[in-house]
Amino acid sequence: MSDDNLVKMANQIAHYFDSEPDRATAVQGVRQHLKSFWTPAMLRQLGEWIERHPGDGVDEKVKEALS
C-alpha cells in the first residue's frame, strides 16, 4: 500500500475520535483500531514513514497511539 494511503487512513481514524473529549480515550481508540484492523506490515510502514517525516502530516493521536 502506498505511504499516502496509509497516512490518509490513519488520519481518518484519528479524526473519527476528534469528538472524544478525553484525549487519552481518543488515543486508546486509535490504538485499538490500528491493533485490531491493521496488519503488522502496515503499522511498520506507517511507523517508518513517520520517522522519515517527523511532524509532517500525521495526526498527533496516531503518533501517540503508535508509541
| pLDDT for res 38 | 98
Place of cell 496509509: 6
Q: Hey, where are the domains in the chain?
A: 3-66
Evaluate if residue 48 carries a pLDDT over 90: yes
Query: Where does the pLDDT of residue 54 fall: very low under 50, low under 70, confident under 90, or very high at 90 and above?
Result: confident
State the residue for C-alpha cell 488515543: 27
> What is the CA angle 34-25-49, rounded to 5?
35
Look-up of cell digits 487519552: 24
Q: What is the reported pTM?
A: 0.91
Average pLDDT over residues 5-13: 97
Q: Span 9-14, mean pLDDT?
A: 98
Q: For 50-54, 57-61, 62-66, which range has the lowest pLDDT when averaged over its residues?
A: 50-54
